[in-house]
Amino acid sequence: MASLKEIRARIASIASTQKITSAMKMVSAAKLKKTEGITTRFLPYKNKLSEALSNYLGSLEGEVSIPLAEHREVKKVALMAFSSSSGLCGVYNASVSKLFKQVYDEYVKSLGAENVTVFLVGKKINDYAKKFGIKVEKQYAPLAESMSYDLAMEISDMMVDLFLSHKVDRVELVFNHFKNSGVQIPSREVVLPLKAVASSEGPTFDYIVEPDKEAFVNDLIPKVIRTNFYSIMLDALTAEHGARMTAMHIASDNADQLSQELKIQYNKARQNVITNELIDIVGGAEALNG
C-alpha cells in the first residue's frame, strides 16, 4: 500500500489538474457561446441569399449558363479537411482524420493520387497526412487561430478559380458537423459544382435585373459559395469548441471521482497507521506489566 505522503502528493496533483481542466472547460464554453452566436446571426443571411438565387432561377423560362454549377466527368478533385491544432478535445481530430483518409482513399482508387489535390486546415490533420505520406498542396492555420470571413473568401475564391480553369472537377470538404456540445458528426460535402436548384414553390415574381440574367446569376453565385464555405468553417469551429468543452467536463468529473477514491484510501491507510501504533503501545504496556 502507498504511504500517506505518496497518497497526499497524488491528491494534490489531481486537484491541480482539475483546476486546469475546469478552467479549460470554462474557456471552451465561452468560445462555444461566441461561435454559436455568430452562426445564429449568419445563417439567416446565408439562407436568404440561397433562397434569392433559387427563386430567381425558378422564375426564368429559358436556361441560364452557370459555369460554377457545371457537372462534368470527375477526373480531378480538390479535397479539403478541417481539424484543430491541439488535442484535449476527445475524438474530434481522430474522427475527422479517419473520414478524410477514407474519402482520400476512395478518390485515389478511382482517379489516382496525382489527380487528388489536398488542402488542410489545422496541425492535427496535417500530422495525420504526413503519417500516411499524403502530399499536401497547401496548409492553413487552424480555424481557432485564423477564423474570419476573409479566410473563407480567400479559400472559396481559390477553389472557384481551380474549378473554372478545369484544374479540378469537384471540390469536397471534410469536417465535423456540430449537432450539440456532446455530439460532433464527421461529415463530407461537395461544394463545387454548386447545386443550383430552381425553386418551384411559393409565389413567382417577375424579376428585373441589370445588365442581364446570366451576368446577375454568375455574380450572385460566388457570393453563395463564399457563404457556404464560411458556414461550414463556422460549423467545424463550433464543433471543436463543443468537443473540447465536453472532454474537459468529463476530465474534471473523473478527477473529482479519483480524488474522492484517494481520500478514502488515505483515510484507510491513516487508520491502519493509528491502529498499528495503538497495538505497539498496548503491547509495550503489557510487556512492562509482565
In a domain, 162, yes or no: yes
Residues in the chain: 290
In a domain, 175, yes or no: yes
Q: If you average pLDDT over every residue of the chain, what do you get?
A: 86
In a domain, 252, yes or no: no
Pairing assessment for the beta strands 170-180 and 77-82 based on DSSP bridges: parallel
In a domain, 289, yes or no: no
How far is 181 from 240, CA to CA, in rounded Å?
9
Residues whose CB falls within 8 Å of the CB of residue 118, separated by 6 or more in sequence, listed in order? 79, 80, 81, 104, 129, 134, 135, 136, 137
- Which CATH number covers residue 80? 3.40.1380.10
**pTM for the predicted model, two decimal places:** 0.84
Indicate if the pLDDT at residue 185 is higher than 90. Answer: yes
How far is 242 from 238, CA to CA, in rounded Å?
6
Confidence of residue 270 (pLDDT cuts 50, 70, 90): confident
Residues 207-262: tens digit of each pLDDT: 677 777 777 787 888 889 999 999 999 999 999 999 999 999 999 999 889 988 88
Residues 3-19: tens digit of each pLDDT: 788 888 888 888 889 89
In a domain, 19, yes or no: no
In a domain, 15, yes or no: no
| CB contact at 8 A, 171 and 159 | yes
What is the domain range of residue 56? 27-246
Q: Is the dihedral of CA 98, 102, 107, 113 positive or negative?
A: positive
| CB contact at 8 A, 92 and 124 | no
In a domain, 116, yes or no: yes
- What domain count does the chain have? 1
In a domain, 75, yes or no: yes
